[in-house]
């Protein structure tokens, strides 16, 4: 292991601007999909919002613009995949998704399949066959006309069957109970009168027919699932029927109905009333009925009883998409009975060792009890030379790369019956005779202490590309980018196709934490002002914001402002530095409410300049006297004035009533005094008028 001191230098433009966008908007940074065996992401797990235009987009026949494309990588373990991108699942927002699948490397991509348009329903499906099993493929998702939003990806690999046929006479022959997926159901074929109008499935809308002959007697169960299945929403209404073919696989004219399923929606009733008849359908050993009519009746559950097959008898299944959405379905078989067909098998042997760059031999041992095997389709998987073959063999194959390998053989007999076997094995490394592999890495540290936004970007040199990368030495991916990392020490591993390894140590260092203090808590008396002693570290340009009642805070962007609160309050000092890091602290200011007040108990309005006026007094926390009233002993108001200035000995009552001097006596006064905090307090008392 070697340690590399890293700075911000690298082999192409590598800046913070790169990671302001989504991290996988170029092929090189494709997000790995961990498995394609019935994989579904979260409904809004992925997005193409802020994805930038790919500077080097691959050619495609669907005329993608790659406006906001995002990339994913996957490794199929079977020779076909069906991919569904849903932009409107739950909170998803990508209205019209587009899909492209590419093979090769990011600098030399070859189109494997694409969708030229979207359904407009927020769901787009693509089936791609003839894949090299075990090889990395790249999935591109974009939006029509530059649409952006969040979306869900579902992907499943499978062994394909021939394209759906909408007539019984041309029905696809099944030779074993391997499940499969159908991308699309459209059309009703040439024979439009194949169904008995009196049966539960009385009319074809978008159909496909599948035939088989029972080999070993026993039960047959299956589950048919619409491709747009969502347990919380209305899905495609898939109906089916099974017929016995008394004269064999070609006897469609005399077919006999043995199972019929047409349950579905109840029009004008809430979804909750017929949810049980929505979604998956099929044959079940838990069901006892042999037919369910359209709608969702009291005893309907979208399943009918398992079929008891008899050895030598032939059957045909019609699958009908009543909803006519154009979408297809998947089917998985069960039960104890088997289908008649050729038996596919092969052995894998090594001349010397199971090692890359060494010869490995594939030997066919398939056989059939019915007719002859007429075709062989070998798929030797990723890194193989040759990658495929079309004869019985044996075949000598050399793998240029090490690791887990998968090979498949599909055979077909004279009746058009196809079966496939897949074998996985391991090819050891062979890196002794090759130049040393090297790896370097560059980093973008966290902008703020404690964040997990740091990035490591690795690059391989020498060795034997293509490279794969890892941070744990176990789970490798072709993506050299590792985003969303915390502070710490990491080891970046690289592996080439020969199994050679190298690593380098990388340190991610956080900047000093932004520490903020709003100063100590304070206690004041109403009317007092104080200084808030704000402080932050480390020093540098910042944005300052005091959060609280700014009516009492003349400068909310000053670090050390003066504040004069009228009641107990809290202020928050929020500091944001040049990197966008934010820190804050609170200060509590307790305000003791004291309202001083004084009124004389006597005055002598005799013109001598001393105590000639009656008024009331306070400190500067009082604003004025809203209302000052004086009454004689019989309750007659002898004086009233409003908005009387406070603390002025020459204002107030001069001892007269309507211009006449009143006699000495005791008088009652009432004063409504307004304070700084806009609170009005009423005071009252008596005053003696003397000569």
Q: Among residues 482, 562, 489, 582, which one has the least CA distance to residue 522?
A: 562
644 and 613 inside one domain: yes
Task: Name the percent of the chain lying above pLDDT 70.
Answer: 96
In the block, which residue shows the tokens 């009641």?
567
Token pair for residue 498? 């020969």
d(CA 614, CA 687) in angstroms, rounded, equals 8
304 and 405 inside one domain: no
| 0.75 exceeded by pTM | no
CATH number of the domain that 500 lies in? 2.60.40
> What is the DSSP-derived secondary structure letter of residue 245?
E
Give pLDDT tens digits for 444-472.
999 999 999 999 999 999 999 999 999 99
Residues in the chain: 691
* 485: β partners: 454
What is the pLDDT at residue 246?
97
Domain assignment present for residue 27? The answer is no
Q: Among residues 562, 549, 409, 439, which one has the least CA distance to residue 502?
A: 439
Give pLDDT tens digits for 184-242.
887 877 877 788 888 898 888 888 999 999 999 999 999 999 988 888 888 899 999 99
Confidence label for 481 from pLDDT (cuts 50, 70 and 90): very high
A 10 A CB-CB count for 594 gives 10
What is the average pLDDT score of the chain? 90
> What is the DSSP-derived secondary structure letter of residue 436?
P
What is the pLDDT at residue 393?
92
Across 166-198, b (16+ Cβ under 10 Å) vs e yields bbbebbbbbbbbbbbbbbbbbebbeeeebbeee
Token pair for residue 524? 């004041």
Give pLDDT tens digits for 328-349.
899 999 999 999 999 999 999 9
d(CA 81, CA 79) in angstroms, rounded, equals 7
CATH number of the domain that 570 lies in? 2.60.40.10
Domain assignment present for residue 18? The answer is no
Beta strands in 133-179 (DSSP E): 137-143, 150-158, 172-173
447 and 495 inside one domain: yes
Domain assignment present for residue 20? The answer is no
Domain assignment present for residue 573? The answer is yes
178 and 306 inside one domain: yes
- Of the candidates 124, 158, 192, which is a domain's last residue? 158
201 and 294 inside one domain: yes
Q: Among residues 356, 362, 423, which one has the least CA distance to residue 395?
A: 362
175 and 285 inside one domain: yes
pLDDT at 406 > cutoff 80: yes
208 and 308 inside one domain: yes
412 and 400 inside one domain: yes
Q: Among residues 15, 47, 103, which one has the least CA distance to residue 383?
A: 103
Q: Tell me which residue range forms the domain holding 585.
A: 515-592
**Coil/strand/helix, residue 250:** coil
pLDDT at 676 > cutoff 50: yes
Domain assignment present for residue 484? The answer is yes
CATH number of the domain that 238 lies in? 2.60.120.380
543 and 583 inside one domain: yes
Domain assignment present for residue 494? The answer is yes
Domain assignment present for residue 485? The answer is yes
d(CA 512, CA 523) in angstroms, rounded, equals 33
Indicate the helix (H) or strand (E) that contains 206.
Answer: none
A 10 A CB-CB count for 9 gives 8
Token pair for residue 629? 């009233």
Token pair for residue 567? 């009641």
436 and 407 inside one domain: no
> What is the DSSP-derived secondary structure letter of residue 669?
E
127 and 147 inside one domain: yes
- Of the candidates 282, 312, 334, which is a domain's last residue? 334
DSSP, residue by residue, 94-105: --SEEEEEEEEE
Cis peptide leading into residue 588 (ω within 30°): no
pLDDT at 19 > cutoff 50: no
For the purposes of burial, counting CB atoms within 10 Å of the CB of 52, is it exposed (0-12), middle (13-18) or buried (19 or more)?
Answer: middle
Dihedral class, residue 337 (left if φ above 0, else alpha if ψ from -120 to 50, else beta)? beta
- Of the candidates 304, 334, 364, which is a domain's last residue? 334
d(CA 255, CA 177) in angstroms, rounded, equals 22
What is the pLDDT at residue 541?
95
Domain assignment present for residue 339? The answer is no
What is the pLDDT at residue 1?
24
d(CA 482, CA 103) in angstroms, rounded, equals 23
**Count of domains in the chain?**
6
652 and 587 inside one domain: no
């Amino acid at each position: 292991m070697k340690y590399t001191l890293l700075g911000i230098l690298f082999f192409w433009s590598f800046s913070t601007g790169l990671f302001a966008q989504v991290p996988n908007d170029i092929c090189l940074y494709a997000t790995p999909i961990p498995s394609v065996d019935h994989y579904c992401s979260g409904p809004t797990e992925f997005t193409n919002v802020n994805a930038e235009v790919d500077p080097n987009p691959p050619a495609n026949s669907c005329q993608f613009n790659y406006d906001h494309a995002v990339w994913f990588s996957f490794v199929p373990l079977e020779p076909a995949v069906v991919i569904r991108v849903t932009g409107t699942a739950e909170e998803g927002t990508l209205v019209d998704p587009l899909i492209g699948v590419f093979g090769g490397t990011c600098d030399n991509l070859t189109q494997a399949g694409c969708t030229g348009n979207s359904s407009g329903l927020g769901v787009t499906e693509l089936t791609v066959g003839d894949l090299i099993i075990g090889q990395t493929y790249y999935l591109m998702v974009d939006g029509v006309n530059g649409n952006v939003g969040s979306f869900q990806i579902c992907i499943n690999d499978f062994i394909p069957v021939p394209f759906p046929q909408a007539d019984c006479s041309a029905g696809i022959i099944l030779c074993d109970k391997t499940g499969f997926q159908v991308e699309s159901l459209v059309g009703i074929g040439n024979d439009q009168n194949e169904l008995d109008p009196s049966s539960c499935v009385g009319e074809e809308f978008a159909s496909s027919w599948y035939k088989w002959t029972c080999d070993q007697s026993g039960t047959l169960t299956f589950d048919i699932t619409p491709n747009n299945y969502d347990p919380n929403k209305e899905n495609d209404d898939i109906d089916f029927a099974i017929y016995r073919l008394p004269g064999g696989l070609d006897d469609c004219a005399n077919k006999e109905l043995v199972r019929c399923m047409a349950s579905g929606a109840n029009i004008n009733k809430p979804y909750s009333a017929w949810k049980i008849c929505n979604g998956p359908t099929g044959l079940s050993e838990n069901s006892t009925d042999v037919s369910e009519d359209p709608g969702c009746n009291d005893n309907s559950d979208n399943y009918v009883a398992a079929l008891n097959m008899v050895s030598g008898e032939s059957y045909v299944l019609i699958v009908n998409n009543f909803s006519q959405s154009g979408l297809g379905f998947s089917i998985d078989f069960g039960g104890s009975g088997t289908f008649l067909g050729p038996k596919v098998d092969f052995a894998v042997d090594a001349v010397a060792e199971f090692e890359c760059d060494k010869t490995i031999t594939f030997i066919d041992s398939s056989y059939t009890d019915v007719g002859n095997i007429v075709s062989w389709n070998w798929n030797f998987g990723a890194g193989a030379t040759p990658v495929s073959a079309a004869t019985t063999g044996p075949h000598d194959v050399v793998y240029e790369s090490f690791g887990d390998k998968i090979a498949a053989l599909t055979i077909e007999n004279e009746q058009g019956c196809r079966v496939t076997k897949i074998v996985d094995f391991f090819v050891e490394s062979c890196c002794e005779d090759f130049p040393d592999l090297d790896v370097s890495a560059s980093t973008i540290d966290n902008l703020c202490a404690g964040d997990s936004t740091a990035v490591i970007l690795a690059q391989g040199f020498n060795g034997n590309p293509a490279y794969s990368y890892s941070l744990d030495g176990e789970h490798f991916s072709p993506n050299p980018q590792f985003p969303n990392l915390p502070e710490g020490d990491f080891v970046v591993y690289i592996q080439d196709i020969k199994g050679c390894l190298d690593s380098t140590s990388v340190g991610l260092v956080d900047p000093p934490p932004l520490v903020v203090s709003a100063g100590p808590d304070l206690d004041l008396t109403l009317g007092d002002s104080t200084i808030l002693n704000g402080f932050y570290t480390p020093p540098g340009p910042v944005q300052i914001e005091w959060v609280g009642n700014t009516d009492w805070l003349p400068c909310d962007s000053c670090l050390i402002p003066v504040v004069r609160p009228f009641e107990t309050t809290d202020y928050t000092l929020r500091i944001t530095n040049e990197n966008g890091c934010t820190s804050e602290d609170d200060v509590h200011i307790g305000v003791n409410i004291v309202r001083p007040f004084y009124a004389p108990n006597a005055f002598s309005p005799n013109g001598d300049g001393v105590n000639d006026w009656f008024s009331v007094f306070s400190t500067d926390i009082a604003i004025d006297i809203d209302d000052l009233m004086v009454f004689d002993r019989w309750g007659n108001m002898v004086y009233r004035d409003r908005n009387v200035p406070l603390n002025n000995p020459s204002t107030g009552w001069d001892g007269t009533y309507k211009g006449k001097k009143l006699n000495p006596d005791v008088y009652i006064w009432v004063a409504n005094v307004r304070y700084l905090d806009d609170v009005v307090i009423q005071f009252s008392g008596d005053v003696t008028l003397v000569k």
